[in-house]
Each structure stands twice: as structure tokens, then as C-alpha cells.
Structure 1
Amino acid sequence: MIGVLAFWIGALVIAAAALPIAFVLLRRFPDAGAGLTPVLGLVLSSYTYFILRTLHVLESGRGGSLLAVSLLALVGVVVARADRRFTATLQRIGPQAVLYAGIFTIAFFSYAAFRSYQSSIGGTEQPMDLMYLNAMLVSPEYPPHDPWLAGEPASYYYFGYLQAAMLTNVAGVPASVGYNLGLAAVFASSAAAVASVAAAVARWIFRTDRRRLVPVAASAAIVLLLFASSLIGIFEWSAAHETTSRPLYEAFGVENILPCEPDAGSEADCYRGGAVNRTNSWYPTEFWFWWRGSRVIDGTITEFPFFSFLLGDLHPHLTSIPLVLLALALAASTFRSRKPRSFATIRGQPFSCLAIAIVLGALAFQNAWDVITFAGLFVVAVMAVNLRRAPVTKAAVSTIGYTGPILLTAIVAYLPWLLDFHTAAGGLYPYVGTGTPPLEGFLQFGAPITASLALLAWVARRVPPGDWLRVAPFALWVPVLPLLLWAPLAAYHGELGNGLGARGAGGWITLALLGAITWANLTAAATLAARGRAAAIALAFAGLATLLLYGAELFLVRDVFYGSVPRLNTVFKLGYQAWILLAIAGGVGLASLLARGPSRMVGRLLAVPMAAILFLALIYPLLAVPNRTGAFSGESSTDGFAALARNNPAEYALVLWLDREVPASAIVVEAPSDSYSSNGGRVGSRTGRQTPIGWYFHEIQWRGSTDANHARLRAIQEKVDRVYNATTPDDLLAAVNDLDASYVVVGSPERSRYPSTSMTTMDQALDLVFEVGDVRVYAVPVRAVMSTS
């Protein structure tokens, strides 16, 4: 419990240190950015730590993290002293700052309590996430090393792991605890941030009824972002209790939940267990039934934030949620600016522009998929401000003069990471598959899209039709242009005929619906933006969200999955971005249903179906939480190694010994592993020590699926094979020295992969320095290294 409290206090201290900077960046916000200080402070302090480590000013350890936070606090004090309005702003927003700290606190401790009942770090990609967290903590040099590819720097967008490491160091807890509390901090930061953004937009829109509607918008946004889910929950519950209709399940594309038909072959995707295995309670007790909620649309990943927090992978798409919300806040605040933005603005506000550059650059460093979307949105917000005060040409020149230097600064600021970053992405390709059936799309995104449409309906009753008609022809180009680009791109790849033929009627209907909703939202947004009306912000968020979904129906980013499930990651990443945008727009939209006005009765009528859909969206979390936690039974712990200590004390002792006795720069040989193995690559994952090769497929994802990379990684695997297959001391020493290794681990994974490993040869050539149960660690004698070098 002390570790949990230390983590919470550390997060709030970092947030408090960033408060003066938030006042400068987000002064237009009603709360002056108070709800966004947890993420702002963590981004700025983590970036400071990263740069100082890269410049060899700091060494690894807790002291460097504390110094980075101290520097943030010092900058905050300087900014506060230079800001003549700081005291007045602090007095004005003080109660709101306390409120957002309360939201953060409730969310943090609630999630930490939830996570304590399934705290084990294993399965899916959690070993990889722990590996990067440990790399941030123990790497003797920065940029950090890759524990699964000794001698190489990390090649991934790892800023989220660095932020978790910052909090872990500040709190003084081990990585196995910091992992789980890092998840809690992301959850809490997301709750506070989305409430802040939604509340700000609602306050700007509902000026005459803000006391009543602002809390509604903020609360609804929290629910839509962190709790609302796919509508699949009701189908899972009905199937578990055998009250189903096969035609209905087939219509929504979820017949795989139903029991297999008697004549179903072995390849059929259906439920093969008995009824007794599905549930013995009011909720489905089938093991991980909720996993199917992440595969609603065939051939894709359809995660949403609640699923991600339920699963517990400390992955970039999850850790980036608060940062994305911060970027959205910057765009919204910029749109509300009274003054145009140009190069002169940079000369007058250099500190603010530098801070904005660090935030926008962090989008790529934390989750590379986000940078184009949300840095692009910031540029559009600047252009919108400038267009209100200048003709198009002059506004464009001013926009370039302002955003160009900021984006260039962002690139320069993150060069130490960019120079080591490689990707397996192979460019933009046309999607020529069947498309998403409309009912499957509704099952996945029905709740947030429907909620956002409430705002569109509210605005439509308040804007003269003539204003819409003047803008609509220009806004139509937004959905039409991607379609016009898709056709020649598909023809260039020789896929136009396949693309036109493969997309079924359902796929075209989905495309048309998304295009129409995008058109309507952006028409309304552009109409209101010309007047400087705040509703344009929420409508632009909604329009961008459906545009992302629309784009995922036409294009894909080619990656290592292209040959099997080509748009797996494209739908996943863009759909996730869309969910965040729709949570804000939907929160404001749900509040609009309660707005007073001449069409109040219409709002009340719309509230009924909206409430029904939202209720359906909350069934999934209601069922999934007790399933994931075992109905909150059993032992609870925030230590991700608690189960390891109980179930495999030898491996747990290995972790403790390596942490205590082995230098962070040492290379430790362990068995190579397939990806997604909880025990594979466990030395690199659990300790951050460098190992020759860990998860092969993931290294290919991070560094590119080229012949040269495959050959290099296979060669390393063969070198490791030589270590464990050696039959003479000389061969063993030669193999170990070829890897420049200092230690060799022999445990269950090694004995399983190399059953013929000779312990006699190990004993003769190496020094046994650790033995607990069936786990051994051998050190390479210094004399042996010298004699073969």
C-alpha cells in the first residue's frame, strides 16, 4: 500500500509542478488546463530526463528522475513568477484543480484495486511491455538498449514506457509494481483529461445552461471513453444463458459465439465447449470470453479503451490516450484564440511554442500512428483561427509561418530517438477486401457515433439551412477525394477490378454511411467555425473520427500482417483514435439532449434511444470485470511478480538475483523464444538485462521484415543454439564469447528447447554462481574471456 500511495503522490506532485505551464498553454480553458496537468507534467519531465540521459548528464536510477521532476518544478516557478495573471488564475480555478485531482485520485485507486486481482504480468504482449519498462529503468546509456537484441538500441515508440519508468523511479517501487500502477496512472490521467476537454467545450457551447450541462458532458465523456464498449455484451450474455436467435447473431456477424452446428468441421469458428463451461453464475464464466470483443470486425483488431484497460497491456495505443487528449486540448484552445497565429507569435511566445513542439513531437515518440492525425488537427485549428481574420492566402502563409517552425522543432527535439527508429511499415496501399458490414460496424462503434450524432442534431436545429448549403458543396470534397484517390491507387497495384468486385453491398453501405456522417459533421463544423462558434470543435472531432473510419475502409498501411490480415493494424489504430475523438463529441452530444430551448421535446425523444444504446454499451464491462477478476476473489497484490513468486519460486529468485548481482550492461544468454510466450525472453523482460535474441517476430516488426534482418536474427539464434548444444568446454566458451556474453541461464525454457544440453560441459567451462531448484546461472570466467579474445 505504501508503494501505491507513493506512486499517487508522485503523479500529483508532477501534475502540480506543471500547473503554471498549463496556465500558459491552455489559458483559454475554463480550468486553465488543470485537468491536463498529470499528462503535461509527465510528458515534460520524461522528455527532460530522456534528453539529459542522452547527453550523458544523468545516470540511470532514481536520482535522475527526481532531478528531472525538480527541473520541471523550477521551470514552473519561473513561469509563475513571469506570469502576472498566475495568482488570479490560480484563485479562479482552484476549486476546479481540486476537483480534477479528486477525479484522478478516485480513478487511480479504483483501477489499482481492480488490477490487484489480476496483477500477473504475462500473456499477450505484457512480457514485451515489461521488457521496455525495465529497459527504461536500467539501461546504462541512452537511447536505451533493446534487452531482446543485445548491443542494439531500442527501435520502437517507447515514450509511454519512459513515462511509466519516471513514475516508478519517483515512487521508488520495483518495475513489477510500477507496471500495474503505471496502468492505473494512465487510466486516471485519461479520466481527468477527457473530463477537462469535454467540460471546456460544453462550457463554451452551453453558456446559458453551463452549470447543469457541463458536469453532464464531462461525466458522459468519461463513461464513453473508459467504460462504454462494443455492443457485443448482450450477445455474450444471451449465449452464455442459451437464450439466442441464430439469425440475429448471423446478421450481426457474431455467430462464432454460438455453439458449433453438428456438422461443423474442425475449421469452423464457433464455440466448442459445453454449456456448463460458459457460465455457472449471472455473468459468463468462460475463460476470457471478453477477448472476442476485440475481434468484432472480421480480420481486424477492434480494441476500445475499456478492453485495453481490462486486458492490461501497457502498450503505446493505451498509454498515449492522455497525450492525445492533451493534443486535442491544444487544438481546441488554439481555435478559441482571439489573435491569429504567425511567425510573429513564435517570437513573442517562444516558451509556449517550445512546449507545444515537445507535446506534438511526443505524439510520434509515444505512438507513431497518432502524430499525423493530431499534429495535423492542430495545424487545421491554427488555419481556422487565421481564416477568421484574413483571406485564404494570407491565412495559409501565417499558418505555415507558425506551425512550420514548431513542427521542425518537434523533429529536432526527438532526433535522438528518430535516428534509431526503424519500422516495418511499407507505405499506403488500397484496401480491396469485402469491407465492414454495417451491422458489424454499428456493433463496434454504435455507442460513441450515436452519441456524437446528438450534437449534430442539436446544431442542425439552430443553423439556418442557407448557411449549410453554402458550405456543403465544399465539405463534400472531404469524403469524395479519398474515394477518387483510392481508384487510381488500386488500378496502379492492379487491384481495381478486385476491389470493386470484392466489396459487397454491406461494405458499400458502410462506406456511404461513414462518408455521409463525415460530410454532415464537417459541413456543420466549417459553418460554425467561420463564426468562431465553439460547437465547431466537437463537430470537427466527430467529423475527423468518422473520416478515420471511412479512410480505413479504403486504405491500409502495409505491414508484416499484409499477407494474412492486411488491414489488421490500420482498423485497430485508426479506430482507437476515432473512439477517443467520439468520446468528447459524444459527451457533449449527450449533454445537448438536456439543453433548454425551443426544441427541448425533440431532445427528450432522442434521449430514449440514446439511453438504450448506452445501456447496451455498458453490458460488456459489467460482465467482463467479474470474469477478469474472478469476481474479486483470491489474493490481491499490485506486484506483477506475486504469482510468479508463489508458483515458480526458482524463477522469482532468478529475477531477484539478476537484479542484485548482474550489471545492467552485461549480456545474459537465455533461450530464444516465439512471440507471445510468457516465459520466453523472461530474463530480458523481467530484468531489462540484454539477451542475444528474445521474441524473433517482434524484432522483425520493430526493425523491418527484410532479408537482411531475417538473416541477422537467424544467425544470432544459431549462435545461442551453439551455446546450449556445445559438447566440449572449448566449443562452449567459443560460443559464449562470440555473443560477448557474461552469463548463461539454464532453466525450464532452456531445458525444453535444448533437451540435450550438457550440464557437465557447463560445469567444466563456466562458473556456477546461482542455483535454486532447477534454475542455474553460470558466469563466464574472466580467464576464459581473456584467453579467447
Structure 2
Amino acid sequence: METLIWLLLVEGLWLVAFPITFLLFRWLPDRGFAFSLISGLLLGAYAVWLGVNFGLPFNPLTTWLVSLAVFVGLNGWLFWRRKGALRRQLWAYCRSRWRLMLLEQTVFLLFFFLLFIVRGYLPEIRGIEKFANYAFYNGVLHSTTLPPPDLWFSGFTVNYYYFTHFMMAYLTHLTGVAPYFVYNLFLYTIYAMLAVGSFGLGYSMISGRRAKKVALVLGLLATLFVCLVGNLDTMRQLARPGERDLGLCSGVADNSQCFWWSPTRVIYDVRPVINAQGVEEILATETINEFPAFSFLLGDVHPHLVAYPFLVLGLALALNLWRSPRILLDQPAKVKMTYLGFIALLLGGTYFLNTWNYPTAFLIIATALLWQEWCKGRIYWRRLALYLVGLVGVSLTLYAPFLLTFRPFSGQPDIPPALDYPLLSAIGRNVGLVTWDRTPLGQHFLIFGLFDFGLISLLVILLRPYFKSGPLNPPLQRRRLSRLALYLLATGLLALVGNQLLFNLRLVNLLLSLSLGLLALGLSGGGVFLVAHAAMPVGYQRAKQAILLSGWIGLTLVGFALKTETLGLLLITLTTCGLLIFYGRPPRQTSGTTFCLLLTFYAAFILLPLELFYLRDMFESRGNSIFKYYVQIWVLLSLAAAYGIVQVALAARRFKPGYRVLWLVEALLLIAFSLFYPVIGSMARTYLFAEYQGLNGELWLQREYPADYAAILWLRQQAERDPAFRAPILEVAGAYFSEAARVSTFSGFPTLMGWADVHEKIWRIYDPLLEIEVAHRFDLAHSYLYSTDDLAETERILKSYNIKYVFVGALERSLKGEGVTETQLHKFAKFMRVVYDKDNVQIYAFP
């Protein structure tokens, strides 16, 4: 019944948002139907969030009234302004494209129930970040003000981008479904939104009425690549099951679980460090390269996961602008302002959802606007810049209540002495230089191998006309090359190889190696230039061939000189895609092809700086930077690769039979290898589908801690009768990813201290005094307040933190192993009254 109520509400939200997207996405074949639910959730949640910030109560009645006002008001205004035209257009569209609409609904429901079935074997809200996200959600759900209270740090508000959890609470108030069902239903909905959005975007990249079947194939392939496939690391494990590099399975009871976990830990940064004894040792730091199939299998309703469909929505807006025959900035003011408002709402929403997505979404939309003007032959830089500045300003203003209370938790206080200047110091605190070996090419292909194959195939097809005039003619003759060219080229290449060998043997440090690499680059670059000059034939077309080839060789050498072979290939991708986008031979490629190149360009544009820099945090590594950007890169490359494979498959009929069969076999094998992950990963994650448990995310707590769970339910019931009953509670604190803080997480009562390290410590890193306070509270809640015999001091500390309740349950009694006695656990009864005592669980309260 809960699932039915949920789906009915979701479908209603989808339909009421369609008239809005019908007008906004007018240049897409499905008129934005695939993106209506994403847009509707964004509009509805934002309107209620803004109302709560201006003093409205956050409850089911307010949520319904504000949502009705927004959608009835917007739709009524649109229908009134269009004087019946919109109604006729919608009716005509539904009559002519009902099959497409039905198909998109089918894709949504198919992926919703696919995850419903798989996650039904492991619905528990436990493990990794689930406690943290459920605590945020319960904090928002029971809050009367915003930002919501931090349930793990009583007396403080949340310092996190909590729009994800507000959306969950928004749908909870609309549906009336219990929170322990909502957690998983919301997860399934986000997955289905991503699937239908990917389908709609892939379908829209193919132009022309005659290409409907091809568009259908592309839409399905895009959905497959974005939502289902994994990387090729699963095949590496199957091929070499005994290999477990760098302890990938450490701490895992069953090695079969590695098949779902370790494909997201492919890249390890291996670097020398000096330990406390002054001895150099090798440190291997893992990075995180998640992808949607893993994220949804894991089941953490984390901001980066919820941001997936909203990134796709941003790409759909860019594609709509890309395909528009009209320049947006030439339109009447009301049209420009309408688009500015919606794009700003989306951009600001991406900042609020997952701040890391904001630059990507902005750059792609900005490039789409630039492309519109470029295609018309003239760029008005001033008005474009003003519009983009206004877009950023409005997007941030719309979410000002969040921005004014949020303190970023990136950066570190220490900086290198060379950067101890006003502007440079700010950069140095937030950006670090990668001074160790970067991503090996083999690891890059393990992650993105399927997509690289599709995109390289497409680039070969697109570049083929430029080499159609045949090979360089006359052929290279050694007699035409000067001795200087040969000496420079040979010396430079030997220097590059020797430098890499010396660095790997640790005979030279990084600075000296970079200097030698740049010197070798200059020598080899000069040799390449002279060789290209000698080989360049008469004639403009063949001159371009020589320039292009020498440029590619030069960029590859740059990569090796700067200690990363991946860098040169990324530079080649950037330059090639950029040239094809803006200087493709007329007639230019179709809008779908250029948009595919744009996605590839920005994927390389994001990957490239990750090889050189990282955003500093408490981990001081590339781990978080790679994590937050690789999830975006996966979406960009999967959509582009799906388009590339479809286009190359269409062109394969012109291949020689041998080449055609070879390419098709390689493509099918890579797709098949990538599909091993969702199959084997699901089996490992669910313990071979051992026990179907359903939808209740709290069932595990009821089974494993029945007495504690009964007490938590009692707390909830008291708070439902009297909201003033909800007050700070003391429970035992523990390590991150443990089951500590279970009372606050599942009851919605704030606690003195939840997970300190890697959570509260990160969220409060902006203030050194708060970092100290986090450590102090952890000591109090983890042991001192339960173990001390000083009653007066215990009472004073509890009252100083406004703690009203003390919880003594199973985890608190586990402190007996650390020397805490039963008498010490019962000491609270001497100055507090017992309000709950059942099955060896007590709750004490101040009168």
C-alpha cells in the first residue's frame, strides 16, 4: 500500500509539471516529458523550502498548500497567457506521441521496481553513510526552523548541503508514508528518475523524424550505460580471482563481496612519505571512483547520488539550447527571463544538492549559449557575459538562506611558505599540488574502457575525412631530414625514457624529474617540429594532416614529461573535440554529434586538472576530489559513448567486412564485460539473494536490538503527542560507520555527540574551537559520563549541555567491557527520574 500511495503521488507530480517542461524543452522530441518529474520535484521542494525559511511551518498541510499554489498558479498562468493554444498543443502532442510517453513511463517503472526487488534483499538503514543521511532526514522532518538541528551535535544546526534530505521530508509530508519506508522509496525514485532522464536525453540527441528507431536504440543504450553497467574491474577480478591489490578486501568477511565494492577503488595514489621516525615509507591512499550502479546498490541516499538526475536535467537544458534554431539572447525579454529563472533555479539547486556539480552544470549551459551565437557567425561577448553573470547571481540569490548559514568544510590551515601571500594563501589552503605519480593509463581504462572505445571509434569516423586525401606524400625520406632533427628527436625521447626510469628508481626527486622532463620535452618537441616541417607537402589539406599529427605526438610527450601518460591523451581529446565542435568542416556535424563532442570535451576538461591538483580536506589526498568529479564524468562519458557507438554502428556498413566484424565483436564484448558488475555485484551484495526483507529500513534494528528499538518507538510516540517532548538525549558515542548514535538517528532526538571523526569533525573544520569541542564531547559521551562516580559533576555537565534524557541500552551496557559497572550505569537515577524501564533498557529524564 505504501508503494502504491508513493507512486500515485509521484505520477501526479510528474503530470502537473509537464505543461511547464513542455514549453521550456520545446526543441526536444519529447518536449521534456522525461524530465518533468525531476523538474516538478525541484520546483515543489524549493517553494516549500523557501516558505519555511520565511516562517511557514513545515508540516503536511503547509506542504500541500504551497505545492498546490505553485503548480496550480504556474499552470493556470501559462494556460491563461497562451489563450487555449497550450491546451491544444498539449492535446495534439499527447495524441501523436503517446507511445513515446508510455515508453518513458515504462522505463521509469521498470528501473523503480528493478531496484525495489534487488534492494528488497538488503533494505536496512545501516552501513557506510546511511546513519548520517537518516539522521539528516529525521532532523529536517521534525524541524520547525531551517537550517535543521544537527542530531549528532546538540545545540547546533546542520552544516551540510541538506536539500537532498529536505526533498525526502517534502515527499514524506505529501504522501504520509512512514520514514522507514520513505528512505528506500526515495532511493528507488531517484534511480528511476535517472533512468528515464538518461533515456530522454539519449533519445533527443538524434535528430529527424526518420531516425525514430535509431533514437529509441540510443535512448535505451544511454540508459544502460548510465544506470546499469559497471567498469571493467569486475572482469579483472574474475580473470585473476586470487589477486587483491593493496588490501582491497581488508576487513571484508567474504571475498565475494569484493566483486561489488572494489571496482570503486581502482585508483590508488602511491607516494613516499616521511613517518614520525624520519624514515621514508610508501603510502597507498585509496581514491573513490563510484558509478551509478554501485551507488544505488550500496543504497546511501547521499547528496552525490540524488544529484545524478539533476545533472541530467542540466544536460537536457543545454541540449535544448543546443538544438534551438533561435538564439536565446535574441528572444524577447520575457523569454530570456523565463529561461534565466529556471536555469538559475536548477543551478542553485545543484549547489544546494551537491556543490561539486555546480561548475559542471554551469559550464555546459554556458557553452550551449556560446554555441548558439557561434553558429550565427557573430558572438556578442558583452551581452553573453552579462547574461552569464546574471545567471550566477540569480542562482545564488535564490538559495541565499542556505548560503548565508552554510560554512564550507574544505581547505586546510597550513600552506607552503612560498604561498604565504593574501591571494595565494587562499588558493594554497584549498588547492593542493599532486606531487606523486598520477593515474596510470591502465587504471583509467579499467574505469572508462567501454566509454573510451565508443568515443575513440567516433573520433576516428569524424576525423577520417581530414585524411581522405591519402597518406603524407611524398613519403618520409631519411635524406630529407636534417641531422639536427634526428638528433633532437632521438635525444629528447631517450631523455624522457631515462628520466622516467630514474624517477621510478627514486634516484631523482620530483622537482628534478619535472625539470629534466621539461628539458626533454623541449628537445623532442623541436625534433617533432623539424620532422613535420620536412614532411609537410605542398597543399593546404595535407599540411593540416602533418600539423594535426605532430600536435598529437607533442601532446603525448607533454603527458610523459609531466609524469603522467594519461595527461597527454586528455590534452589530445580536449584539442580534438574543441576543434571538431567549432571548426568542423561544413556542413557542420549534426547537433547531436557536436553535443556528444561537448560532453566528451568537458569530461576531459574535468579529468585533466585532477591529474595535477586536488581540493584539500582533512584527508590531504585526491580521494574526495576524484570521488565527487568521477561520478559526474561517468554520466558525461556514458551518454557520449552511447551516442558514439550508435553512430559508428550506423557507419559500419561502409567498413571492410573484416574491420566491421572486429569492431562489432569488440563493442559487444566490452558491453558484456561491463554488464558483469550489476549481476555479480548484486549477488555479492545481497549474499546470493539470501532473504527478501521488503521495504522497512528499520527492520534490522527491531531484530538485533528489540529492547532498544521499543524504547526508540516510545520516544517517537511521546514526541508525536507533544512536540515539546523532543529534547537532547545522551547515548554512547562511537566510531564512524558503527551503530553508535542509533537513538538520535532513528528517533529524531538530538544527542550530545554522534560520529565524531570523519563526520562532525569535517563539518566543523571551519572553526578550530569547534573541532576541539567535538573531541571533548566525544570523550564525554563515549566513556566519561557513563563511567564516572562523581554525581555532581555528571549532573553539571548534562545540564550545561541542556541534556534532558539519558539512554541506557545494549550499546551503553557494552561499556562494561571497558570497565564500566552496572552501578555506574544506574547512577543517573539518583538525580533524574526513570521515565522508561523495560527489558533492561532505561531512559532517565530531568524533572
Query: Which stretch shows the higher mean deviation, 699-708 or 209-218?
Result: 699-708
Deviation at 1:90, TM superposition (A): 4.5
Does the residue aligned with 1:544 lie in a helix, a strand or coil? helix
Deviation at 1:771, TM superposition (A): 2.5
Match of 1:146 among 144, 150, 153: 150
- Structure 1 residue aligned with 2:459: 456
Provide the aligned length of Structure 1 versus Structure 2.
Answer: 712
In structure 1, how many angstroms separate the alpha carbons of the residues matched to 2:164 and 2:512?
A: 42
- Structure 1 residue aligned with 2:365: 378
In structure 2, how many angstroms separate the alpha carbons of the residues matched to 1:501 and 1:612?
A: 42
Deviation at 1:116, TM superposition (A): 0.9
- Structure 2 residue aligned with 1:300: 287
Match of 2:696 among 606, 628, 639: 639
Map 1:28-39 to 2 at 5 A: 28-39=27-38
- Structure 1 residue aligned with 2:836: 770
Map 1:290-439 to 2 at 5 A: 290-298=260-268, 299-342=286-329, 345-389=332-376, 391-392=378-379, 394=380, 396-426=381-411, 427-439=430-442
In structure 2, how many angstroms separate the alpha carbons of the residues matched to 1:507 and 1:688?
A: 51
Deviation at 1:628, TM superposition (A): 1.4
Match of 2:568 among 505, 512, 526: 512
- Structure 1 residue aligned with 2:63: 65
Map 1:69-468 to 2 at 5 A: 69-74=67-72, 75-83=74-82, 84-92=85-93, 93-202=97-206, 204=207, 207=208, 209-240=210-241, 255-256=243-244, 269=247, 286-298=256-268, 299-342=286-329, 345-389=332-376, 391-392=378-379, 394=380, 396-426=381-411, 427-461=430-464
Match of 1:703 among 764, 769, 772: 764
2:602 aligned with 1:536: no
2:727 aligned with 1:666: yes
In structure 2, how many angstroms separate the alpha carbons of the residues matched to 1:634 and 1:533?
A: 50
Q: Is the 8 A contact 1:346 1:353 kept in 2?
A: no
What amino acid is aligned across from residue 62 of structure 2 in structure 1? G
The 3 A distance-change label for structure 1 pair 594 and 132 is same
Does the residue aligned with 1:439 lie in a helix, a strand or coil? helix
Give deviations 1:204-259, integer Å, cap 9, x for gaps.
2xx3751221111111111111111111112323444x6xxxxxxxxxxxx425xx
In structure 2, how many angstroms separate the alpha carbons of the residues matched to 1:68 and 1:671?
A: 40
2:748 aligned with 1:693: no
Deviation at 1:341, TM superposition (A): 3.2
Q: Is the 8 A contact 2:432 2:616 kept in 1?
A: yes
- Structure 1 residue aligned with 2:577: 521
Q: Is the 8 A contact 1:17 1:41 kept in 2?
A: yes
Unaligned runs of 5+ in 2: 269-285, 412-429, 470-508, 518-558
The 3 A distance-change label for structure 1 pair 345 and 372 is farther
Does the residue aligned with 1:637 lie in a helix, a strand or coil? coil
In structure 2, how many angstroms separate the alpha carbons of the residues matched to 1:421 and 1:607?
A: 51
What amino acid is aligned across from residue 110 of structure 1 in structure 2? L
Give deviations 1:299-355, integer Å, cap 9, x for gaps.
311111111111111111111000000011111111222232339754444333222
- Structure 1 residue aligned with 2:544: none
In structure 2, how many angstroms separate the alpha carbons of the residues matched to 1:424 and 1:499?
A: 32
Identity among equivalent pairs (%): 25
Q: Is the 8 A contact 2:652 2:660 kept in 1?
A: no
The 3 A distance-change label for structure 1 pair 137 and 272 is closer
Deviation at 1:635, TM superposition (A): 3.3
The 3 A distance-change label for structure 1 pair 317 and 463 is farther
Q: Is the 8 A contact 1:386 1:398 kept in 2?
A: no
In structure 2, how many angstroms separate the alpha carbons of the residues matched to 1:352 and 1:232?
A: 42
Q: Is the 8 A contact 2:328 2:336 kept in 1?
A: no
Deviation at 1:142, TM superposition (A): 1.5
Match of 1:684 among 744, 748, 752: 744
In structure 2, how many angstroms separate the alpha carbons of the residues matched to 1:416 and 1:51?
A: 8
Mark the structure with the bigger radius of gyration. Answer: 2
The 3 A distance-change label for structure 1 pair 630 and 81 is farther
The 3 A distance-change label for structure 1 pair 645 and 408 is same
- Structure 1 residue aligned with 2:415: none
Map 1:473-488 to 2 at 5 A: none
Unaligned runs of 5+ in 1: 243-254, 258-267, 279-284, 467-493, 782-789
In structure 2, how many angstroms separate the alpha carbons of the residues matched to 1:373 and 1:346?
A: 26
Deviation at 1:464, TM superposition (A): 8.4
In structure 2, how many angstroms separate the alpha carbons of the residues matched to 1:680 and 1:533?
A: 56
Q: TM-score if structure 1 supplies the norm length? A: 0.85
In structure 2, how many angstroms separate the alpha carbons of the residues matched to 1:209 and 1:701?
A: 54
What amino acid is aligned across from residue 746 of structure 2 in structure 1? R
Give deviations 1:40-69, integer Å, cap 9, x for gaps.
111111111111111112x23322332343
- Structure 1 residue aligned with 2:824: 758
- Structure 1 residue aligned with 2:493: none
2:587 aligned with 1:587: no
- Structure 2 residue aligned with 1:479: none
In structure 1, how many angstroms separate the alpha carbons of the residues matched to 2:606 and 2:142?
A: 38
In structure 2, how many angstroms separate the alpha carbons of the residues matched to 1:145 and 1:273?
A: 34
Q: Is the 8 A contact 1:592 1:603 kept in 2?
A: no
The 3 A distance-change label for structure 1 pair 657 and 215 is same
Deviation at 1:409, TM superposition (A): 1.1
Give deviations 1:119-173, integer Å, cap 9, x for gaps.
1111111111111121221112122121111222211112122222222332222
Q: CA RMSD in A?
A: 2.8
What amino acid is aligned across from residue 265 of structure 2 in structure 1? R
Give deviations 1:440-490, integer Å, cap 9, x for gaps.
111111112222333333433467889xxxxxxxxxxxxxxxxxxxxxxxx
- Structure 1 residue aligned with 2:605: 547
In structure 2, how many angstroms separate the alpha carbons of the residues matched to 1:762 and 1:400?
A: 65
Give deviations 1:383-405, integer Å, cap 9, x for gaps.
1212233534x2x2121232222
What amino acid is aligned across from residue 410 of structure 2 in structure 1? A
Does the residue aligned with 1:744 lie in a helix, a strand or coil? strand
The 3 A distance-change label for structure 1 pair 575 and 726 is same
In structure 2, how many angstroms separate the alpha carbons of the residues matched to 1:621 and 1:598?
A: 32
The 3 A distance-change label for structure 1 pair 179 and 272 is closer
Q: Is the 8 A contact 1:594 1:600 kept in 2?
A: no
Deviation at 1:752, TM superposition (A): 3.3
- Structure 1 residue aligned with 2:675: 618
In structure 1, how many angstroms separate the alpha carbons of the residues matched to 2:800 and 2:784?
A: 10
In structure 1, how many angstroms separate the alpha carbons of the residues matched to 2:515 and 2:247?
A: 27
Does the residue aligned with 2:120 lie in a helix, a strand or coil? helix
Does the residue aligned with 1:156 lie in a helix, a strand or coil? coil
In structure 2, how many angstroms separate the alpha carbons of the residues matched to 1:500 and 1:178?
A: 57
- Structure 2 residue aligned with 1:264: none
Does the residue aligned with 1:770 lie in a helix, a strand or coil? strand
Deviation at 1:272, TM superposition (A): 8.4
In structure 1, how many angstroms separate the alpha carbons of the residues matched to 2:585 and 2:387?
A: 20
